[in-house]
Amino acid sequence: MESLENINLKDFLASDLYNKLLLEAGLFVLKLAACILIYIIGRKIIKYINVLFGKLMSSKGFDLSVASFLKSLVNIILTVTLLLSIVNILGINSSSFVALFASIGVALGMALSGTLQNFSGGVMILLFRPYRVGDYIQAQGQEGTVKAIHIFNTALITADNRTVFIPNGGLSSNTIVNYNEQKNRRIEWIVGVDYGTDYDKVKNIITDIIKIEKKILMEPAPFIALKTLNDSSVDIIIRVWVIKEDYWDVYFNMNEQIYKNFAAKGINIPFPQLTVHLADKQSTCEKL
């Protein structure tokens, strides 16, 4: 004699409810498989669209700064659209989902105010253009060449080939030094010589060094003057103008030439020193 539990199980397996649940489960598995497939294909399509969009902007002569920002923005919009499509396929009410997403967005917006500030900072950077992709800038304690301007941050490549990401919010509200904004840059040196050194001789030596350096511009004219009568040295200031691309080459080469020429012509570059005068002990005692 079959038990009551076996009879109930057989009745359930033969019922319409079981068949309906089985059908729903099968449909859900199919939908889930379809969603996974759609996501994989969708990501590949988004990647292709991003590449195509980048080529289109390049062919139309878009500024690199705007191009990198728009590519990042388009990627986010397409990804969100893909996710909403998957939600619809799964049978979730998209309007309810959007309303829920908006509510969550408000709460997250308050919690992630810094992220929103970075986004608005990126928009401000694109509007007012304090720098562009390819410019060499100094900001937030970092300096380097701008590689890309994303929607939330700016990527810099430093001189030692490090990639630094700086939030756009800080960049849009703080000081930025853009070394590419002007065509020419001024280089300044302050060179100390011993007291008693012939100033005219030193000035002539520096003038000859400047004349030999072909990358130094003659307009504006180079400037040489006695700057300070310091504690241990007479300080001479040198100012010259160069094309911005030649800045470091001229800076280091002039350092080398000044040192070599001063040494060869007997001009001493002093180091900080302190002269101490000792009173004669016996004379001091006699006075007392």
Q: 158-213, pLDDT tens digit by residue? A: 989 999 999 998 898 889 999 988 999 999 999 999 999 999 999 999 999 999 99
Domain boundaries 119-178, CATH class:
mainly beta
The domain segmentation of the chain, as residue ranges, is 4-111, 119-178, 184-264
Q: Going by CATH, does the domain composed of 184-264 fall within 3.30.70.2190?
A: no
Is a pLDDT exceeding 60 seen at residue 78?
yes
**pTM listed for this prediction:** 0.57
Looking at the domain 4-111, which fold is it?
Helix Hairpins (1.10.287)
> What is the average per-residue pLDDT within 111-135?
80
The pair phi, psi for residue 227, each rounded to 5°, is -85, -55
